[in-house]
Structure 1
Amino acid sequence: MSQNKFQALVLREEDKKTNASIETLALDALPDEDTLIKVDYSTLNYKDALAITGKGKIVRTWPMVPGVDFAGTVVESSNPQYKPGTRVVLTGWSVGEKYWGGYSQYQRVKSDWLVPLPEGLTTRQAMMIGTAGFTAMLCVNALQAANITPQSGPVLVTGAAGGVGSVAVAILTNLGYSVTALTGDPDKHTYVKQLGATAFADGPEWSEAPRALEAQRWAAAIDTVGSKVLARVLAEMHYGGVVAACGLAGGADLSTTVMPFILRSVRLIGVDSVMLPTKDRVSAWQRIVNDLPMEVLNGITATTVSLTDVKDAAEDMLGGKLKGRVLVDVNAV
């Protein structure tokens, strides 16, 4: 393939259905932004899976190259901060939804969206962490900013075998917290236990609506699921407990009462990684390097797929068949 040609996974809307296919593109087909990146790796996130399969209203402009994150090397940029050869990581900013994303061997983006790769981190490791791991770090930051310490009591992580949950369990464990995991699947317990979870909360009650207040069980929680699960988490919090909510794998609805908030002083904190200011991104990535043991990453990254295999992996993710992080090697087509 010529130097000016590359491959990308492209989503096109045909008869109101999403069609995903590998296409050969020229560099001049890329968006008109100020920085050209040679992409090394991306990841598969829940939002990507919804976009690729067409099962969620994620894509806002067509055609679209999905992939909400990527890591690679600057080829050229009009921003003097990003000289050729600079290794960078990108998460969020509606990339893969409104702007072309990471499932491409080259991409052109706004330099304001980039973060220089922290010292000691490879582009592969950055995407083994990816948006999910970055979001997990933000959730831990939120709990600590709310004065939740290891001495506060047990921390519940829901969706603990998923991308965000896996990294959250590993980081919390490394920081000395006692982590209880909710996976929804006993077959995933061994995997999550290896990351540091010391107990599991799985049971039939998690599919049922809770009472306004349940027995107090958790000092804090990181929730990736939403819906009935988040409602029960709130009802089971200790007095003064804190919940960092960042996902909706179980649904976007939330049927609850004010009781946990006005009788137990529970705090519900929303965590967003898409529009986070750059200075906060830089510090969060540095914290990841410090607080997530790099040797744990190989255990968290359960699957590596090529661009060709992303569609099948997306279906498996939505079907709950995957665990941990899914790395996308965009140069292994």
Structure 2
Amino acid sequence: MNASVDLIDRMSFRGAMLDSTSERARLVEAKVKELPPHNTLIRVEFAAFTDTDASRISGLPLSGQRKCTTSWYAAAGLVVGTEGGRLRVGERVVVTATGGDAAGWLGCSEFLRVCESGVARLPGNINAQSAALVGHPGYMAMLCVCSLEDSGGAPDKGPVLVTNPSSALGQAALLILDRLGYETDTIFGGEVYPEPSNVASSDGRWAAVIDTMGGAVLSAVISGLKYGGIAVVAGATDDDELKSSLHPFLFRAVRLVGIDAETTPAAERDRTWRRIAVDYPITSVDLLAARTVSLEGLESVSRDMVHQKQHGRVVVDLRA
């Protein structure tokens, strides 16, 4: 580890830590050396703050569909120590993941120690605040679009269906696809998505689908894909089983492409963020950022978020 990290290890820092027994998170002060023994130390500048984070900080339950929100974090800042060999001290980076780290630290902590393989370099035209706003859903959405393109997808092939478009990933996917010139269609989850008989079509309605629902919705949508259609699967919020016939795969050359955001190779993470820098309308995301708060403001914003008084995204400024 870099010599300066020995000094940093003795420093105190503040952050949000999850108690695994109670599922409550609280602000604590700790020594940097108490972080997990991974090979890359990041001084966090901005971090996303999610509904799940708000519930954990406030101790209040989420309501409605938000109860099913997947826990994730996104934190951006500077590398201050590394033993991995790929990154250098001083590089601007972003790390996104589901859950917290193994020791329970959430992304809104002044320091994080993570595996270098899960870190991406930030392109020069994306600052740390914008990266936190894009977050894990935006990163996942761009992974989906890149996989769609790698599998032969293009705007002239036909419309792309996005399931559950009200989700953060669905919204991000629609923004990116629109920016790239794709025609899009949507199917909502819950009570409003069509029955499979209304979705299926022997001729095919869609060139591709970006799906986060799985189960009956994905099965029905697959039967509605055109010849050579592509099903990009990034989640299973409804059901993790696929109940589709093999016929679309055997007789219409439909392809099923899975998205794994957790163990994506480092080179692919870097490529994805380079694409975000070009093809994700970050200025639109910035306009949605209704609040930037400090660690001291987490209790207040958490209550507002749980009670649905806060609209728009929230990021934590950890530079103080």
TM superposition score category, shorter chain reference: 0.7 to 0.9
Moved more, 256-265 or 167-176: 256-265
Q: Which residue of 1 aligns with 2:169?
A: 164
Q: Does 1:98 align with 2:102?
A: yes
The one-letter code sitting in structure 1 at the alignment partner of 2:81 is: E
Higher deviation after alignment, 17-26 or 172-181: 17-26
Cα deviations across residues 74-126 of structure 1 (Å, max 9, x unaligned)? 2333457644432111124x772536452312112233432221111101111
User: When the two structures are aligned, how many residues end up with a matched partner?
Assistant: 298
1:184 CA displacement: 4.8
By how many angstroms is 1:35 displaced? 3.0
Residue identity in the other structure for 1:134: Y
Letter in 1 for 2:170: G
Q: SS of the residue aligned with 2:273?
A: helix
Distance 1:45 1:176, change over 3 A: same
CA displacement, residues 222-249 of structure 1 (integer Å, 9 cap, x when unaligned): 1122222212211221222111010123
In structure 1, runs of 5+ residues without a counterpart are 59-65, 186-202
Q: 2:150 aligns with which of 112, 124, 145?
A: 145
Shift in alpha-carbon separation, 1:327–1:259, aligned structure 2, 3 A: farther
Alignment of 1:13-32 (within 5 A): 13-14=20-21, 17-32=22-37
Residue 5 of structure 2 is matched in structure 1 by: none
SS state at 1:36 partner: strand
Residue in structure 1 matched with residue 218 of structure 2 by the alignment: 230
- Evaluate the alpha carbon distance shift between residue 205 and residue 76 of structure 1 in structure 2; reply closer, same or farther with a 3 A threshold: closer
Which residue does 2:315 correspond to in 1?
328
Give distance in 2, aligned partners of 1:9 and 1:18. Answer: 12
- Counterpart code for 1:329: V
> Does the 8 Å contact 1:41/1:327 carry over to 2?
no
Change beyond 3 A, Cα 1:329–1:219: same
Summarize deviations over 1:25-60 as a string: whole Å, max 9, x none: 22232122333222122235698799987978x9xx
CA distance 1:210–1:316, shift in 2 (3 Å): farther
Distance in 1 between the 2:40 and 2:141 partners?
A: 28
User: SS at the partner of 1:148?
Assistant: coil
Q: Which residue of 2 aligns with 1:290?
A: 278
Return the offset for 1:254.
Answer: 2.8
User: What is the identity, as a one-letter code, of the residue corresponding to 1:38?
Assistant: R
Provide closer, same or farther for how the CA distance between residues 43 and 226 of structure 1 changes in structure 2, counting only shifts above 3 A.
farther
Letter in 1 for 2:223: A
Q: Could you tell me which residue of structure 2 aligns to residue 5 of structure 1?
A: 12
Q: Distance in 1 between matches of 2:311 and 2:264?
A: 26
Deviates more, 1:69-78 or 1:264-273: 69-78
Question: Could you say which residue in structure 1 is the equivalent of 2:127?
Answer: 122
- CA gap of 1:303–1:160, structure 2 versus 1, over 3 A, is farther
1:260 to 248, 253, 258: 248
Secondary structure class of the residue paired with 1:120: coil
1:294-330: per-residue Cα shift (whole Å, max 9, x none)?
322224556656663586688689xxx9987x44315
Q: Is the 8 A contact 1:42 1:103 kept in 2?
A: yes
Q: State TM-score, norm by structure 1.
A: 0.74
| Residues 150, 80 of structure 1: alpha-carbon distance in 2 compared, 3 angstrom cutoff | closer
Secondary structure of 2:20's counterpart equals strand
For residues 82 and 205 of structure 1, do their structure 2 counterparts lie closer, same or farther at Cα, with a shift above 3 Å needed? closer
5 Å-filtered alignment, 1:1-333, equals: 4-14=11-21, 17-43=22-48, 67-78=72-83, 82-92=87-97, 96-98=100-102, 100-184=105-189, 204-206=192-194, 208=195, 210=197, 213-214=200-201, 216-299=204-287, 301=289, 308=298, 326-329=313-316, 331=318
> Do the aligned residues in 2 keep the contact of 1:245 with 1:268 (CA within 8 Å)?
yes
**Secondary structure, in 3 states, of the residue corresponding to 2:46?**
strand
Q: Percent identity?
A: 32
Is the Cα–Cα contact under 8 Å of residues 213 and 235 in structure 1 kept in the other structure?
A: yes
Root mean square deviation of aligned Cα: 3.6
CA distance in 1, matches of 2:238, 2:140: 17
Q: What is the identity, as a one-letter code, of the residue corresponding to 1:241?
A: G
TM-score by length of 2: 0.77
**Using the alignment, how far apart are the partners of 2:196 and 2:56 within structure 1?**
29
| CA distance, structure 1, for counterparts of residue 270 and residue 201 of structure 2 | 39
Give me the whole-angstrom Cα distance separating, in 2, the residues matched to 1:111 and 1:247.
Answer: 25
SS at match of 1:290: helix
